[in-house]
Amino acid sequence: MKKAFGEIEYELVRTGTSRLSLKVDRDGNVTVRAPRGMDISVIENFLSRHREKVNEMVSTAREGKSLRLSKEEMDALVKKARKVFPERVEYWRLMMGGIAIGKVTVRSQLSRWGSCSQNGNISLNALLVEAPPRVLDYVIVHELAHRLQMNHSKAFWSVVQQYCDDYKECRKWLRENGGRLMALNPR
Ligand SMILES: [Zn+2]
């Protein structure tokens, strides 16, 4: 049932459980689940107490929704990444002394920028197309460095630094902007 409490619009679902719960989905839709017999005043009291937090969650979700690419736009982005990234990998592979690697895969991912498997297959997140080129290079150097050090030890970071002396700034950029980039994903 559609309900509104002040500016909060929500779907009220009555359930057999004894708990009152609230969820905001990635489109910013609010769903409140409440026990069948619970009085609406209890629900509204709950909403009133969490008003600020709910509004914040809704606006964050809506911002994310407005950034999201269409399926077609995402396909075009992946295509572009598949053209550009393997060349960059090859460039750095040679720069780093001709490291042996497996396959290079470029696809859209929701949680990682890159990965390197035990057998040297490198996977890169296509969304890095939207990042500064230095950041893409850093992610590639990072994954290639895993061919020499399969961990994040001091020795690993010193390999990264050797080829990417501003890697700390690149990591900072990803921390600060990564969420915005990941939000482009249409899924
Ligand atoms: Zn790593």
What is the chain written as a DSSP string?
-EEEETTEEEEEEEESSS--EEEE-TT--EEEEEETT--HHHHHHHHHHTHHHHHHHHHHHHHHHHHPPPHHHHHHHHHHHHHHHHHHHHHHHHHTT------EEEE--SS-SEEE-TT--EEEEGGGGGS-HHHHHHHHHHHHHTTT-SS-SHHHHHHHHHH-TTHHHHHHHHHHHHHHHHTT---
Return mean pLDDT, the chain: 94
How many domains does the chain fold into? Answer: 2
Could you tell me if 96 and 59 lie in one domain? no
Within a domain: residue 25? yes
Could you tell me if 82 and 167 lie in one domain? yes
What number is the average pLDDT over the span 4-12?
94
Could you tell me if 63 and 75 lie in one domain? no
What number is the average pLDDT over the span 53-62?
92
142 C-alpha to ligand 1 centroid (Å)? 6
Could you tell me if 48 and 126 lie in one domain? no
pLDDT of residue 106: 97
DSSP labels for 42-82? HHHHHHHHTHHHHHHHHHHHHHHHHHPPPHHHHHHHHHHHH
144 C-alpha to ligand 1 centroid (Å)? 9
Could you tell me if 84 and 57 lie in one domain? no
Q: In angstroms, rounded to a whole number, what is the distance separating the alpha carbons of residues 107 and 97? A: 26
Could you tell me if 94 and 176 lie in one domain? yes
Q: Is 187 a residue whose pLDDT tops 80?
A: no
Q: Taking Cα atoms as reference points, which of 63, 71, 147 lies closest to residue 102?
A: 147
What number is the average pLDDT over the span 126-144?
97
122 C-alpha to ligand 1 centroid (Å)? 11
Could you tell me if 176 and 123 lie in one domain? yes
Q: Please give the residue that has the higher pLDDT: either 43 or 27.
A: 43
Give me the domain span that covers residue 40.
Answer: 2-67
Could you tell me if 90 and 152 lie in one domain? yes
Least confident of 10-14, 110-114, 160-164, 170-174: 110-114
pLDDT-based confidence at residue 64 (cuts at 50, 70, 90) = confident
Least confident of 61-65, 67-71, 90-94, 134-138: 61-65
Within a domain: residue 91? yes
145 C-alpha to ligand 1 centroid (Å)? 8
| Residue that is last in its domain, among 67, 94, 111 | 67
27 C-alpha to ligand 1 centroid (Å)? 32
Q: What is the CATH number of the domain that holds 170?
A: 3.30.2010.10
Q: Is 20 a residue whose pLDDT tops 80?
A: yes
183 C-alpha to ligand 1 centroid (Å)? 22
Q: Is 17 a residue whose pLDDT tops 90?
A: no
| Residue that is last in its domain, among 27, 52, 67 | 67
161 C-alpha to ligand 1 centroid (Å)? 13
Q: Please give the residue that has the higher pLDDT: either 109 or 48.
A: 48
89 C-alpha to ligand 1 centroid (Å)? 15
18 C-alpha to ligand 1 centroid (Å)? 44
Could you tell me if 120 and 158 lie in one domain? yes
Could you tell me if 77 and 127 lie in one domain? yes
What's the pLDDT tens digit per position in 96-125?
A: 999 999 999 999 888 899 999 999 999 999
What number is the average pLDDT over the span 160-180?
95
141 C-alpha to ligand 1 centroid (Å)? 10
Within a domain: residue 187? no
What number is the average pLDDT over the span 38-43?
94
Q: Is 158 a residue whose pLDDT tops 90?
A: yes
Could you tell me if 46 and 117 lie in one domain? no
| Residue that is last in its domain, among 67, 101, 123 | 67
Could you tell me if 23 and 49 lie in one domain? yes
185 C-alpha to ligand 1 centroid (Å)? 22
pLDDT of residue 180: 87
